[in-house]
Chains A and B, each alone.
Chain A
Amino acid sequence: MENQTLLTIEDLSVQFVSAGIRTTALSGLSLTAKEGEILAVVGASGAGKSLLAHAVLGLLPKNAQVTGRMTYKGQVLNEKTLPRLRGKEITLIPQSVTYLDPLMPVGRQVYYPMNKQEGRAKTAALFEEYGLSPEVMKKYPFELSGGMTRRVLFSAAVLSGAKLLLADEPTPGLSRETARHVLRHLRAFAKEGRAVLLITHDLDLAVECADRVAVLYAGTLLETAPACDFAADGAALRHPYSQSLWNALPQNGFHPVTGNMPSPGERVESCPFAPRCPKKTALCREKPVPLRPLRGGTVRCIHAT
């Protein structure tokens, strides 16, 4: 049986209006996440990765304007449906300890959506499974190490029973070994039939752990590719940016990409990567480049074949 598609994002754009100035933070973003898969969303800082997670949850600041369509199991995500889905069907695995209430013991923070007795027992069992000692239940966030924090946050996600997990940068600040450990947990979630959206700037780890990789650049999606396409010299990849990102990794030759990603204020309608692209032609600067399917993935580049 084909795995069900849980999340569909079609042509999502997010703009912020502040003091009459409109800034585009995300534009024309389309992707899907299926049951049983890990979809990694990679990109540099400021590419709009975390914003994507907040947009899916409907938790953007008040001055954000969202266009496009997002559905969960075919149901449109909006102000009416999201309050029922947040924390039950869709949940966030945040990136750091600051997402925990500094004044509440972590055990309680994991189980508070449930009734106390049942929740406490289940949390204790989960903590044991994740190798956290029972005393951790009574600890406060400031007393946790980075690895412990991740495991506490993972426990909360498991306990929620949510099917779609948005994991926002779960690995920074962890040793390579601990990070791999964390990613193994994500893989376990996928095996249990959940869909995991892994937001990360670590392409290396993303390729190692995810099924598909979506590459974000300057607020837009340049490519989605099966993780196995990130191999050798990156010839199987569709977009020049993905290729240069891949080849910039130390083990792939350490070739730097010159130039900088445009910031939200200076974004253009045409290909945002054109100024840095080795394959650019006059055509790239002329008009917006649409996202199109190509070889089992998607790409936003007129030259890709």
Chain B
Amino acid sequence: MAGKTARFLLGKLLRMLSLLLAACLLSFFLLSLSPIDPVEAYVGASVTVSEQQREEIAAHWGLDQPPAERFGLWLSSIAKGDLGTSLLYRRPVLDVIGERFLASLWLMGIAWIFSGLIGLGLGILAGRREGSLWDKGIRGFCLLLSSTPTFWVGMVLLLIFAVWLGWFPVGLSVPIGVLEQDVTLFDRLSHVILPALTLSLAGMAPIALHTREKLIAINRSDYMLYARARGEGEWTALRRHGLRNLALPAVTLQFASFAELFGGSVLAEQVFSYPGLGRAATEAGLNGDLPLLLGIVLFSTLFVFIGNSIADLLTFFIDPRIRRAKRGGI
């Protein structure tokens, strides 16, 4: 078991490194094709910078060298933990990502927990009686949600709850004009609720639909029939056999949803002007802040990879067929 776990972790580490390398290569390649000129983005609209000075800046950054060497240079500084300096914030990229991620963590964390719990609950409610009114209603609601763009959901929520009802602020993560130390937990929560709701509505539908599907399959399974033949009531059978079997796809989906979560947060944060990592990504992209954009790409790759790895790890512990398989490796 110990040897197996070690092999599992080593395999994961190798995969992570190769994934990051691939992400670096691809994003570097894409950005070198993009029309963004780093020097242009750096000096901005300033006309006082002469052509001579621009060339000197380019030479200083190594932009006059061939792409392969530039990539090598960039990669070696990343390996040393130096992601460069954000042009937009004039601070190290890692600092900006750290700060913004903390704000997003609130948002994504709340949305993640809500979408997981509510999605699971709705899925069980719908799958318990296939074809019932509950099932039809929930399925319809989920299909409607999954075909609605996240930013639109955000705008509707904003319109109803912030503009018309005035229950929540229209944007930002803290009130304007209040000192950092005076911001209360209530302030933070009231600012995070609408974007978190938007994000969880987006993530809920696939979890509910998959849970429903799996529960129907479980209820039709031989082992549930046998459980009932042995005198178990519906709820006992569901608790004893259903939930564990249901947990397998639910856990995988929940952790694999890190990708959707991050993607959704880019949109939700934009709508609510919420200063998180998603918004930083949009700003970096629109303003040609290449170091920050590349940093966020790498960070989000890592984030999604970690989510998937947690799912693998949990599946490994929940499912004895994988844990005890003769040949290891997931």
Tell me the A96-148 residues at the B interface (CB within 8 Å): 96, 98-104, 112-113, 140, 142-143
Minimal Cβ-Cβ distance residue in A for B225: A59
Minimal Cβ-Cβ distance residue in B for A103: B244
B231 touching A88, Cβ below 8 Å: yes
Say whether A57 faces chain B, with CB atoms less than 8 Å apart.
yes
**B-chain residues with CB within 8 Å of residue A156 when the two chains form the complex:** 230
CA distance in complex: A160, B229 (Å): 11
B273 to A: closest C-beta gap in Å: 46
Query: Taking chain B's interface residues, is the majority helix, strand, or loop, or is none over half, making it mixed?
Result: helix
**A-chain residues with CB within 8 Å of residue B223 when the two chains form the complex:** 98-102
Say whether A86 faces chain B, with CB atoms less than 8 Å apart.
yes
B319 touching A98, Cβ below 8 Å: no
Contact surface of B with A, Cβ cutoff 8 Å: 221-223, 225-233, 240-241, 244-245, 248, 318-321, 324
A150 to B: closest C-beta gap in Å: 14
A87 touching B230, Cβ below 8 Å: yes
Say whether A83 faces chain B, with CB atoms less than 8 Å apart.
yes
Known: A103-B245, A103-B318. A91 touches B225 (CB 8 A): no
**B-chain residues with CB within 8 Å of residue A48 when the two chains form the complex:** none
Please give the number of chain A residues whose Cβ is less than 8 angstroms from any Cβ of chain B in the complex.
26
Tell me the A62-101 residues at the B interface (CB within 8 Å): 83, 85-88, 91-92, 94, 96, 98-101
Contact surface of A with B, Cβ cutoff 8 Å: 54, 57, 59, 83, 85-88, 91-92, 94, 96, 98-104, 112-113, 140, 142-143, 156, 160
**A-chain residues with CB within 8 Å of residue B319 when the two chains form the complex:** 103
Minimal Cβ-Cβ distance residue in A for B323: A140
B97 to A: closest C-beta gap in Å: 39
A162 to B: closest C-beta gap in Å: 9
Minimal Cβ-Cβ distance residue in B for A82: B231
**In the complex, which of the residues B221, B230, B321, B324 contacts A92, with contact meaning CB atoms closer than 8 Å?**
B230
Known: A87-B232, A92-B230. A102 touches B245 (CB 8 A): yes
**B-chain residues with CB within 8 Å of residue A59 when the two chains form the complex:** 225, 228-229
**In the complex, which of the residues A92, A98, A104 contacts B244, with contact meaning CB atoms closer than 8 Å?**
A104
**A-chain residues with CB within 8 Å of residue B248 when the two chains form the complex:** 103
CA distance in complex: A99, B223 (Å): 4
**A-chain residues with CB within 8 Å of residue B222 when the two chains form the complex:** 94, 96, 98-99
Minimal Cβ-Cβ distance residue in B for A112: B240
Minimal Cβ-Cβ distance residue in A for B129: A62
**B-chain residues with CB within 8 Å of residue A98 when the two chains form the complex:** 221-223
B231 touching A87, Cβ below 8 Å: yes
A99 touching B226, Cβ below 8 Å: yes
Known: A92-B226, A112-B240. A86 touches B231 (CB 8 A): yes
Considering the complex of A and B, which 5 residue pairs feature the smallest CB-CB distances, nearest first? Answer: A87-B231, A87-B230, A92-B229, A99-B226, A86-B231
CA distance in complex: A143, B245 (Å): 18
CA distance in complex: A99, B225 (Å): 7
Minimal Cβ-Cβ distance residue in B for A140: B320
New contact pairs (8) apart from A59-B225, A92-B230, CB-CB < 8 Å: A83-B233, A94-B225, A98-B221, A99-B226, A101-B240, A103-B248, A104-B241, A140-B320
Known: A83-B231, A102-B321, A103-B320. A94 touches B241 (CB 8 A): no
**B-chain residues with CB within 8 Å of residue A85 when the two chains form the complex:** 231
Interface centre among A54, A86, A101, A140 (most CB of B within 10 A): A101
**In the complex, which of the residues B221, B229, B240 contacts A57, with contact meaning CB atoms closer than 8 Å?**
B229
A64 to B: closest C-beta gap in Å: 13
**In the complex, which of the residues A57, A94, A99, A140 contacts B324, with contact meaning CB atoms closer than 8 Å?**
A140
A14 to B: closest C-beta gap in Å: 16
